[in-house]
Amino acid sequence: MEILGIDIGGSSLKGAIVDVNLGELKTDTHRIPTPESREPEAMAQAVKEMVAHFNYKGIVGCGFPTIVKKGICKDEGNLSEKWVGVDVDALFEKTTGLNFTVINDADAAGLAETQFGAGKDKHGFVLMITVGTGLGSGAYLNGELIPNFELGQIPYKEFEKIEEWAASSIKTEQNLSYKEWAFRFNIFLNYIHKILNPDVIMVGGGISNDWNKFEKYLQVDTKIIPAELRNDSGVLGAAIAAYQKYSG
């Protein structure tokens, strides 16, 4: 079955048609810049533009970059505060006329990795960390999703949340070397390991494409592996979530 998956990030929206049975993208990924305001109506129009690009008429899966419970946005994350309390499913459905399944973006990425990527056949407590504008996280216990783990929101020293110090966007803004940035990211990983003691940590997001440039600087007392699906994981996982919702 082929479903449109959309991954909303702080800098862009990505979308592609996904074969959810094979776990692969059937089209090239299309990108649309995230509206500068990051407000609900503007982002809903960007989603509508994505749907129109593919001339798509079926169900849609969408990864969203903050906490979503039963379709409702519970925290603004890196978006506009106007998102808090918005029914994201309903907004996107009203704007596009299509049925939407909206889940946390890191949950979506982890869902794809646990079914078709680095997390396949991994047992126990598995964490997916997506590194981008912020630090997203998905948690899985024996393959089952524990939704809305927002570990990047943990306060750290003078920062309101640790992602303001250790996300890859900060690496870019402050022109940090991989070694300098990895020092910060390693502190984050050890922080969450001490709290949660996961069996495996998967690292995804755009920076995972450069895994060999910073892997040697990460020292955590658990297995750390790069995501295999890389930037495709969010789009793929969003489509899988929609398939699971409407097929079951």
The model's pLDDT over 46-86, given as tens digits with 9 standing for 90+, comes to 999 999 999 999 999 999 998 899 889 998 888 999 999 99
CATH number of the domain located at residue range(s) 2-107+232-247 in this protein:
3.30.420.40
pLDDT of residue 31: 97
pLDDT over threshold 70, residue 248: no
pLDDT of residue 133: 85
Asked, colleague to colleague, whether 2-107+232-247 and 119-227 share their fold, the answer is: yes
Q: Which of 130, 125, 143 is nearest to 197 (CA)?
A: 125
Q: Which of 140, 136, 132 is nearest to 113 (CA)?
A: 140
Buried b (16+ CB within 10 A) or exposed e, 159-179: eebbbbbbbbbbbeeeeeebe
The model's pLDDT over 77-123, given as tens digits with 9 standing for 90+, comes to 889 999 999 999 999 999 999 999 999 998 999 999 999 999 888 88
pTM for the complete prediction?
Answer: 0.86
pLDDT of residue 10: 81
* pLDDT over 90 percentage in the chain: 79
- What is the C-alpha to C-alpha distance for residues 182 and 215, in angstroms, rounded to an integer? 8
CATH 3.20.20.60 fits 119-227, yes or no: no
- What is the C-alpha to C-alpha distance for residues 80 and 129, in angstroms, rounded to an integer? 23
Domain ranges of the chain: 2-107+232-247, 119-227
The model's pLDDT over 113-149, given as tens digits with 9 standing for 90+, comes to 999 999 888 889 999 999 988 999 999 998 888 988 8
